[in-house]
Chain A
Amino acid sequence: MKRRRFDLAAVPGKAAREVDDRLQVNTPLRSLLNKVFPDHWSFLLGEIALFSFVVLLLTGVYLTLFFEPSLREVTYDGSYRPLQGTHMSAAYASTLDISFDVRGGLVMRQMHHWAALLFMASIIVHMMRIFFTGAFRKPRELNWMIGYLLFWVGFLAGFTGYSIPDDGLSGTGLRIASGIILSIPVIGTWAATAAFAGEFPGEIIISRFFILHVLLIPALLVGLISAHLGLVFKQKHTQWPGPGRTNSNVVGERMFPRYALKQGGFFMIVFGVIALLGGLVQINPIWLFGPYEAGVVSAASQPDWYVMFLDGSTRLMPPWQINIPIGDGYVIPPLFWPTVVLPGLMTMIPLFYPFIEARLNRDRAIHNLLQRPRDVPGRTALGAMAVSFWLVLTLSGANDVIADKFFISLNAMTWAGRIGLIVVPPIAYYVTYRICLGLQQHDREVLAHGVETGIIRRLPSGQFVEVHQPLGRTDDHGHGELEYVGWVVPKKMNRLGALGPAIRGFFYPIEKPAEAPVSPGHPPVEPRPEREEIGSGERR
């Protein structure tokens, strides 16, 4: 039999054909490669959360190899000399070992903690961008709810995570948690006894928190994140209004190769920043806090920042105890309201906000275009109100540190928080509302009268007027005929291409236009002869 020639160049094609014969992935693969993504910097906020979650999984798995989740009492004999000979739990001792006796363990631990902080921070900022741009509206209500639950599940992941080292600070946090559970009316003692298998601290809570932290909560997070991304993929991204963009299309780049490259690069940058933080910026130095002892605490005991709003609400709560004089008498402690009721409200109301807003506006349409916050002043102001409420609580969570550093009376800080919590949000609402209206008005003004050129002309009568550059055709009265379309109105001459950008790039001004071609969003900038005369006052 004649030997056939082996054609190396045909191998990939043949292999691909064989694969496709079996799996029939050809068309789905192509449409995946071709899927169009819109681009805007604010769309990357959620990705930071996703990427830090990946880092959390990687570093977290490493940490489990060394951590011993047990309250068994041991005598520390590791290399951190100040604590040698101290009695402590195995959990705390193994965390010290990760920090001092595992080569590179400390950098992993700190990266894990920093990634957790970044995860929560990016979730919050991402949530704010979704809220303020109206990206939660139909058809994306479900994804808003999933994202909101992700915040709370992440919150639990963080709390269980920083509790399990059993150091002085986290033990105090755990004790407060037990106090919070105890404060629930009727079932408080039952729930606390069940959680701790007896009275606080019991002997098993660290193992329970550990399995929650490394298995159940991450599994829940992975499930919710998958659903979140799956829905984004299915429903496609929202996009800003703009040239060629409608409610029924997506304008952007195909996923491969450029968009995917940018995502990959961005992931590495997030990873790199976490590594830098983990190596260079100390976080949660548990060896300074010592093992947890019920009778020991230091001033400035703060939880991680995303829990601080609860600490703040607890501090601000007046001592209003409700006594129920039946039988021996029953009590609803003041701790119940700021730590159980308030988070409950904070969970339920925002969770259903998309439906509430749609109901109020009688809005049943499908929205794929984003709104600029200024165009929806009511919602923006409401958001500012919520954010300021949260900020007052978070700052109050650190009111002892603020009082100490700024030489303010501690009680005055508490009172400022109590009053601020009631007064600041309405002010934030009002101010935001007015700012939104002002910005709206300015957009309309520029559309009607044109951009300020900075050129002052003296009329024959002696009167001075500023010359405005209309953005488009004008009517008989010199008013622009362009309609507002929900997108940025250019307000400076260099936005119109009449002037070169004052500063291009971050570090050095470039006067000459770049030799690279530019994209349609940024029209080519050619210095014009008359440019010297115009002068924007901003040139360097």
Chain B
Amino acid sequence: MSTRTDGHAVSTSDAIDVNDPEVSRFDIVREGARRDDIEIVHYEAQFPVPGTKAERRITRVIAAMFLLVGLFATAFVVAYIWWPWQYKPGTGAGKLYTPILGLTLGLALLLVGFGILAWGKKLLPKEVSIQDRHIEPASDEERKITGNTLVYMADELGVRRRPLLGVSLLAGLAPVGAVAAAPLIGGLIEQPHKNNQYFTTGWKPIDGKLIHLTHHDGTPVRPEDVSPGGQITVFPGIEGGATNKHADSPVLLIHLREDDATEAKAANDRDGKQNFMWGNYIAYSKICTHAGCPASLYEQQTNRLLCPCHQSQFLITDNARPIFGPASRRLPQLPLTVEEGFFVAQSDFTETVGPDFWERP
């Protein structure tokens, strides 16, 4: 075995006497490695002659990195304390607060890293060590002993001799498992069809009173609020109707142009949805029947509604039938009418709103 140890005259891997005052510290290290089944086969100082120009240069570079770390870290703290940081509209020095923090912190950390790396890679001796893996599996005898020790534990417990104990323990533990499950099931599981919640929305008439179509701020919508070819999002005119409490209720109210309205009305009639439209106005649930995103991108020229999440497309003039993408069910239509100049819903949706589920009839 060839070794180059640069000043450490060790040529044998035999054991050495660590108490011998002649042996160097490296010899002792090597002896320790040997006892751990590690052979240091190659150990080579990067700078065998101390104090060369190259060594001093690298030392200087690393020292400079560490000093810069201090500089950047200080800069971070200084900027953190004194740089204007509060948000102001427009441009200003405050906009640079986060970038400066990131830059100073990042550079400080990077330089710590590069300094340490350079120290390890450029200055420390290079070595190749070989360690034995000990992959030989334990002998069959050892395995047998351990196996028997394990099995003997069962013997000691004597379950086979005293079966009553085992049975009674199981019988006792099963309800304990149920105790663990009960709060989870009892606390979390709810009857999903309480109040018929998956089939009703905020548009369900309250005490026979029809629900107004309202803007986001709660003011009722009049027909002249939507120009021909235009569309707005409307919400049920009830308490919190525009909030996420009624996440199934947003509706897209569209004022179709004459030709499209005729077409849409014919499609409605074919489908038994007479009088769902009011004049040239038509209203569809905004909640995509695919995954529940708002299907809100309205392409006026083609009369398509596009859901931006998964690109399902619905044809408004044909009962909002899905014509492309992953959605398989049309958008439910809200039956419209006008009372005293304001839009109201004749009833709740006649189809289920939102993503599909198993028990949807």
Residues of A bordering B, CB below 8 Å = 30-31, 34-36, 73, 79-82, 87, 100-101, 103-104, 106-107, 110-111, 171-172, 175-176, 178-180, 182-190, 192-194, 197-201, 236, 244, 247-254, 257-258, 261-262, 264-280, 292-301, 311, 314-321, 328-335, 338, 366, 368, 399-400, 410-411, 414, 515-517, 519-520
* CB under 8 Å from chain A, chain B span 32-73: 32-33, 36, 38, 40-42, 44-48, 52, 54
B36 with A329: CB separation less than 8 A: no
Q: Give Cα A188–Cα B292 distance, bound, in whole angstroms.
A: 15
Question: Would you give the shortest CB distance from B307 to chain A, in whole angstroms?
Answer: 8
Q: Give Cα A317–Cα B327 distance, bound, in whole angstroms.
A: 9
A81 to chain B: closest residue by CB: B89
B360 to chain A: closest residue by CB: A331
Q: Give Cα A473–Cα B358 distance, bound, in whole angstroms.
A: 73
Q: Give Cα A18–Cα B147 distance, bound, in whole angstroms.
A: 39
A179 with B98: CB separation less than 8 A: no
B126 with A519: CB separation less than 8 A: yes
Report, as a range, how many residues of chain B touch the other chain: 35 or more
Stretch in contact with the other chain, from B128-136, B168-176, B338-346: B128-136
Cβ of B100 under 8 Å from chain A: yes
Question: Would you give the shortest CB distance from B135 to chain A, in whole angstroms?
Answer: 5
In the complex, which residues of chain A have a beta carbon less than 8 angstroms from the beta carbon of B294?
A: 294-297
A264 with B116: CB separation less than 8 A: yes
In the complex, which residues of chain B have a beta carbon less than 8 angstroms from the beta carbon of A179?
A: 290-292, 354-355
B291 with A176: CB separation less than 8 A: yes
Complex A-B: 14 CB contacts under 8 Å:
A80-B87, A110-B98, A176-B292, A199-B198, A253-B127, A265-B115, A271-B113, A276-B103, A276-B107, A292-B244, A295-B233, A331-B357, A332-B358, A515-B54
Q: Give Cα A309–Cα B250 distance, bound, in whole angstroms.
A: 29
- With beta carbons under 8 angstroms apart, the residue of A30, A175, A266 that contacts B291 is A175
B297 with A299: CB separation less than 8 A: yes
B109 with A294: CB separation less than 8 A: no
Residues of B bordering A, CB below 8 Å = 32-33, 36, 38, 40-42, 44-48, 52, 54, 80, 85-87, 89, 97-103, 105-122, 124-133, 135, 188-193, 197-198, 233, 235, 242-244, 246-250, 286-287, 290-294, 296-297, 308-312, 322, 324-329, 354-361
B102 with A368: CB separation less than 8 A: no
B357 with A248: CB separation less than 8 A: no
Q: Give Cα A287–Cα B147 distance, bound, in whole angstroms.
A: 62
B102 with A517: CB separation less than 8 A: no
Question: Would you give the shortest CB distance from A168 to chain B, in whole angstroms?
Answer: 10
Question: Would you give the shortest CB distance from B349 to chain A, in whole angstroms?
Answer: 15
A271 to chain B: closest residue by CB: B109
A71 to chain B: closest residue by CB: B244
Known: A315-B325, A334-B328. A199 touches B248 (CB 8 A): yes
B106 with A265: CB separation less than 8 A: no
A185 with B121: CB separation less than 8 A: no
A250 with B103: CB separation less than 8 A: no
In the complex, which residues of chain B have a beta carbon less than 8 angstroms from the beta carbon of A80?
A: 87
In the complex, which residues of chain A have a beta carbon less than 8 angstroms from the beta carbon of B36?
A: 30-31, 34-35
In the complex, which residues of chain B have a beta carbon less than 8 angstroms from the beta carbon of A73?
A: 243
Residue with the greatest number of chain A CB neighbours at <10 A, chosen from B32, B118, B360: B360
A104 with B326: CB separation less than 8 A: no
19 extra interface residue pairs, beta carbon distance < 8 Å, beyond A190-B189, A414-B325: A34-B131, A100-B86, A107-B102, A182-B357, A193-B192, A199-B248, A262-B116, A268-B110, A272-B106, A275-B102, A280-B99, A296-B296, A315-B325, A319-B325, A319-B327, A321-B356, A333-B357, A368-B133, A517-B44
Q: Give Cα A513–Cα B327 distance, bound, in whole angstroms.
A: 66
B110 with A269: CB separation less than 8 A: yes
Q: Give Cα A249–Cα B33 distance, bound, in whole angstroms.
A: 14
In the complex, which residues of chain B have a beta carbon less than 8 angstroms from the beta carbon of A311?
A: 309-310
B113 with A269: CB separation less than 8 A: yes
In the complex, which residues of chain A have a beta carbon less than 8 angstroms from the beta carbon of B324?
A: 411, 414
- With beta carbons under 8 angstroms apart, the residue of A30, A411, A517 that contacts B46 is A517
A328 to chain B: closest residue by CB: B361
A183 with B356: CB separation less than 8 A: yes
Q: Give Cα A72–Cα B190 distance, bound, in whole angstroms.
A: 22
A327 to chain B: closest residue by CB: B361
Known: A100-B87, A106-B98. A252 touches B32 (CB 8 A): no
In the complex, which residues of chain A have a beta carbon less than 8 angstroms from the beta carbon of B135?
A: 247-248, 366, 368
B108 to chain A: closest residue by CB: A272
Q: Give Cα A523–Cα B319 distance, bound, in whole angstroms.
A: 77
Known: A106-B98, A179-B291, A331-B357. A36 touches B129 (CB 8 A): yes
- With beta carbons under 8 angstroms apart, the residue of A110, A266, A294, A317 that contacts B326 is A317
A331 with B356: CB separation less than 8 A: yes
In the complex, which residues of chain A have a beta carbon less than 8 angstroms from the beta carbon of B101?
A: 104, 107, 279
A414 with B311: CB separation less than 8 A: yes
A189 with B192: CB separation less than 8 A: yes
In the complex, which residues of chain A have a beta carbon less than 8 angstroms from the beta carbon of B117?
A: 261-262, 265-266, 269
In the complex, which residues of chain A have a beta carbon less than 8 angstroms from the beta carbon of B354?
A: 179, 200
In the complex, which residues of chain B have a beta carbon less than 8 angstroms from the beta carbon of A274?
A: 106
